[in-house]
Each structure stands twice: as structure tokens, then as C-alpha cells.
Amino acid sequence: MSIILTALILSAIFSLFFIILSIKYRSYLNYIFLKREEEEKEKSLSDLLDRYVVEEKKDIMREKLAKITQIIADTEREVEETVKIKVEVVKEQKATLKAEGKELDVITHAEEEYISFSVGLRAAEPSTEEERLADMAELEDAIAMLESFDEETYRVKKKQVDAGVGMFYDRISRRFQNIIVNKN
């Protein structure tokens, strides 16, 4: 009996050891993954700075980006805190409604308001022949107006673009580029 008991204890210890080891290994891999992502972000940032920023202004840009990332992190933290607070408030409200039985009272009150509001509404379907004919006349007038708008759009001709217009735009854009280069 003691051999079985010791075997069970040893197997439980080994199982616990491997479970703890796998949890630690997973957290280590997660840490490495996050570290690698940060390095890639820093590398892409330095590549962008190398490509598009003058050498003298790189330090200034890094400082500004650090401030911006700090502001973003602070904002995300604040948003998380407010969301947690709001979720807790809603859960408390939900618990009080269920605990006090007020939920049914709120539903019945809302039902009464809806019924009192909808009683005064009429059906959209005409009840008499005169109403139906008046609705048909209004619809025909609306269709005629829409068709007239449609006819006007077909009358408008598109501007024809030829090669001369493209050459003109190219020449103007070259002049703008020369002006920009000369100003700098």
C-alpha cells in the first residue's frame, strides 16, 4: 500500500511541477514576444526617422514621439479606468433592479407609455377610396418630379479631356515644384 501511495504522491508532485513549468514558460514566451514587438516598433521608427527627417531634428522628433506615446498610454489607462467604473455601476444598477423587483415595474410602465402613445396613431393604409386616390396622385407627382430630375442629368455632357489638358497640368505642376524648390 505504501508503494502505491508514494507513487501517487510522486506523480502528483511531477504533474504539479510540469504545470508550473509550462505556465512559467508561457509567460516567458509572452515576455519575449512583447519585447520583440517593441524592438520592431523602435526599428521601424528609426527607419522612418532615417528616411524622412533631417539629421539635426531626429532627437527633437524622438522626444516629441516619446511625449505622444506617453500621452496615448495615459489616455488608454484613463479610458480603461472609466470603462471599469461604468461597468461596475451598470452591474450594481442591474443587481438593484433584480433585487428589488423594480425591473417588472419599469417594464410595465414602459408598456403603458407605449400603448398610450401608439393609440393615437393611424394605419398608413388608406381607409377610403378618396384617401387612396389622393395618395396615388401625390405619388404620381413625386414620380414625375424625379423623372424630370433624371432627364436633366442625361442632358448634361461630360467635359472632354484631351492630351493638351494633360500637358497643361504637367507644365503647371512642374512650375509649382520649381517654385517650392526655389523657396527652400
Q: Is 60 helix (H, G, I), strand (E, B) or coil?
A: helix
How far apart (Å, rounded) are the C-alpha atoms in residues 16 and 6?
Answer: 15
Q: How far is CA 29 from CA 36, 43, 76, 135, in A?
A: 10, 21, 25, 71
- What residue type is 32 in one-letter code? I
Same domain, 97 and 80: yes
- Say yes or no: 86 and 47 in one domain: no
Total structural domains within the chain:
2
Separation CA 184–CA 181 (nearest Å):
5
Encode pLDDT of 81-117 as tens digits. Answer: 988 888 888 888 777 766 566 677 777 888 888 877 7
Q: Provide the domain limits for residue 22.
A: 10-52
SS3 content of the chain, % helix, strand, coil (to 5): 90, 0, 10
- Are residue 32 and residue 68 in the same domain, yes or no? no
**What string of pLDDT tens digits covers the 184 residues of the chain?**
688 889 899 999 999 999 999 999 999 999 999 899 888 877 777 777 777 777 777 778 878 888 888 888 888 899 889 888 888 888 887 777 665 666 777 778 888 888 777 766 667 777 788 888 988 899 898 888 888 877 666 665 666 666 777 777 888 888 888 888 887 6
Q: Is residue 169 part of a domain?
A: no
46 with 94, same domain: the answer is no
> Which amino acid would we find at residue 6?
T
